[in-house]
Amino acid sequence: MVAATGRREAGEPWNDPNARPYVELRRVTKKFGDFTAVDDVSLKIYEREIFCLLGASGCGKTTLLRMLGGFETPTEGRILIDGEDVTDVPPYDRPVNMMFQSYALFPHMNVEQNVAFGLKQDRVPKAEIRERVATMLDMVQLGEYAKRKVGQLSGGQRQRVALARALVKRPKLLLLDEPLGALDKKLREHTQFELIGLQDKLGVTFLVVTHDQEEAMTLASRIGVMDRGTIVQAGTPAEIYEFPNSKFVADFIGSVNLFEGRLVEDEPERVRIASAELGGTILVGHGISSAPEATLWAALRPEKIAMSRGAPPQTENVARGIVQDVAYLGDLSIYVVRLPTGKLVRVTRPNTARHAEPVERDSEVYLSWDAASPVVVTR
């Protein structure tokens, strides 16, 4: 699920305390009347990153994007781009361009005029405009469509015109609001990789807003998961997926089984959690920092649980249950297993062999997992 691409060759500037952030939000808050859309967000984005703000609708991600574009002014806090404070700079003076969710292409202009619009506005010489527009249109494979009216284009073509129009101005930062939201699934997958390729070629920093976790996982160098106006966790797709810092993140990205429990053994290298929901203890192969009596949760991804008919060799991190539901998805199957405690556990298994013996509904199975698999979250 996590795409490994070449764009991370530059290293991980977010782990380097000396790296200079390219875009920086300092304690930014935005209120609309009584409603706080963005609540004290601080964030650093580095050059050539694709940073994805991921969250459900209404979590404040679009407001954050609009503040970077200059369409909203923060109630509090500062916004810096390339070291320059742009908090009060209007959109037309910002070194930033935006690709709108609806694409916002000008219906009274053709493709070429749409792409040239921003350059004309900047009084770029005519010959240069012509050349840059042509190059850009070729890059998004729309060279033949230069004279078409916007209304005559398909959804995917419109998306590429919008992208070309925003990129042709060579912005320092490109803001993309649900860039692939209006495309169908096949085209979306294809376009994701095109977008990464283009970003890599042009070296522009991208800030993407999306509610689609798959899109965020594919595109992002880092993801910021947003909930109710705050960034709950920011990190690489793998970090977010493997080490969620809260129930919310664990549940929002992918699917997860959460076992509520209490700490019964706390050592630097491993902890043991007694979970009434599981009906046993869970051994976790990493230390945590938590108050001894606090309630916490062990988060276990469905694909990290092994399922077998016979009893596994291990004695801990095992549970027995009855298969209650099976969903065959082609590449993998999802099993819902009911434990004696009544807890339902989700397990996925890849369908590697075509004629593998299926696990049927109502059959009794053992679930087991490695001590390295569960992650403990305290909130």
Q: Which residues bind other proteins (CB under 8 A)?
A: 69-71, 90-92, 96-98, 100, 102, 104-108, 117-118, 121-122, 149, 151, 165-166, 169
Amino acid occupying residue 94 = R
Rounded least distance, CB 16 to other proteins, Å: 32
Cβ distance to other proteins smaller for residue 207 or 232: 207
Rounded least distance, CB 121 to other proteins, Å: 4
Cβ distance to other proteins smaller for residue 65 or 223: 65
Rounded least distance, CB 172 to other proteins, Å: 14
Cβ distance to other proteins smaller for residue 97 or 192: 97
Cβ distance to other proteins smaller for residue 104 or 318: 104
Rounded least distance, CB 183 to other proteins, Å: 18
- Between strands 318-328 and 332-338, the pairing is antiparallel
Cβ distance to other proteins smaller for residue 41 or 168: 168
Cβ distance to other proteins smaller for residue 119 or 305: 119
Rounded least distance, CB 42 to other proteins, Å: 25
Cβ distance to other proteins smaller for residue 162 or 240: 162
Rounded least distance, CB 97 to other proteins, Å: 6
Rounded least distance, CB 102 to other proteins, Å: 6
Residue 128: burial class (beta carbons within 10 Å; 0-12, 13-18, 19+): exposed
Rounded least distance, CB 78 to other proteins, Å: 21
Rounded least distance, CB 231 to other proteins, Å: 24
Who contacts 172 (Cβ-Cβ below 8 Å, separation ≥6)? 22, 81, 82, 95, 96, 204, 205
Cβ distance to other proteins smaller for residue 44 or 61: 61
Cβ distance to other proteins smaller for residue 7 or 149: 149
Q: Facing residues of 207 across strands?
A: 51, 175
What does the block give as tokens for 313? 């060799």
How wide is the angle at C-alpha 291 spanned by C-alphas 341 and 261, nearest 5°? 5
